[in-house]
Structures are given as C-alpha cells and as structure tokens.
A = this chain, B = another copy of it.
Amino acid sequence: MPDTARSPAGRKRSAEARVAILEASLSLLRRRSYAELSCEAIASEAGVGKQTIYRWWNNKADVVLDALTEHARAVTAPETGTLEGDVRAFFEATFRLARGTRGTGPVLKGLMAEAQLDAAFAPRFAAFIETRRAALRGVLARHPIPDERELSALVDMLFGAFWYRLLLGHGPLTPALAATLGKLAARGAGAGIPITD
C-alpha cells in the first residue's frame, strides 16, 4: 500500500497569488520601512485577499522571511587556504549582502525585531539564522579548532559583531572590518599557538 495520502479535493493553491504576495512584500519594502509594512498593504499591493495571506502565512514577518529566503543567494565563501582568509571572505560576502542593492540589511533588522516581539515567529527566524551559523561553522571547520566550546563562542562572536553593528549602526560593515574579524578569529582560534590553558 504505497500511499494512502489522498490528494486533497478542491482547488489547488494558486502559484500566482503566492509569488504576487512575496513580490509585493519586497516591492513595498523597497519603498517603506519594515515597520510601516502591513498585511493589508501587502494584500492590496498584490491584488489578493487578506485571507489568502493568512491561509498560508501567520503574519507579515512570515511572509517577508519567505520572500527573503526565496530571493537570498547563499553566501559563498571561497577557500583561501587560511582561516583568516576564509573568515575575511565569508564576512566580505555577508556584509555585501547586508549593504546590498535591495537593502537586505533593513529587512533583516525588521525580522530580528519581530522575532523579539512575536514568540511564535522566533523559532522560524532562529531556523533561518541557524543556516547562516552552520555555514560559518563549515568554514571554520576547515581548520583545526581545539575546543567545541571555543568554536561555538567564536561563531557567536563573529556573527555577533555583524549583527551588533547591523542593529545598532554605530559602525560600518566594511571590508576592513571583515579583515579585522579574520585576523582576530585566526588569533582566537590559536593559529599556530600552543594553547596553554
């Protein structure tokens, strides 16, 4: 008995409506801030009923996260041979995306904000974030890191610096910062240094 899952009766989900909603979200986010976005505005912009949004998503954060994931390219970190170079390259790419043409940075900030205010959204956003953390872990794993606890802390420090600057805006996300992060990461990982703990 291969498959008892009956194909559900009734009309199928409209692909047109789905992409219209996702694109309307991004289109509105180009014109106004995340805070000014509303599900009503998305529905209106997309030429779609509000129910069609709430049928498939929970709220605007959910929609935007979906839209972002859809359009987001994975940050590709070329292998440079050294941990310093790999980290530097990873964050140069990350920073470029955050500063990017379509203003991914502001949207990320909005989603992070929503994750703080909406307990139901938090795990969904955390899952999205986890993919990025995993990517950085993958980069660091190319090189010997003595301790799991230190590796975890290092990932948090590196991404933390990124988010901290992104959210507070007290300093720019420049290639120079990426370089410095690479250098400090290399030292912190104890590249070539006997750990004397």
Contacts and interface: CB of A to CB of B under 8 A. Distances in A.
A187 B168 CA distance: 26
Given A34-B117, A153-B184, A112 B167 contact: yes
A30 interface: no
5 contacts: A115-B167, A150-B183, A154-B184, A157-B157, A157-B158
A187 to B, nearest CB: 5
Query: Chain A's interface: helix, strand, loop or mixed, by majority?
Result: helix
**Size category, A interface:** 35 or more
A184 B126 contact: no
Nearest to A153: B180
Interface string A88-122: 00000000000000000000011011111111001
Contacts of A190: 187
Given A130-B170, A133-B170, 15 more contacts: A34-B116, A110-B117, A112-B167, A113-B115, A115-B168, A126-B169, A129-B168, A149-B180, A150-B180, A152-B171, A154-B184, A156-B165, A160-B162, A160-B165, A163-B167
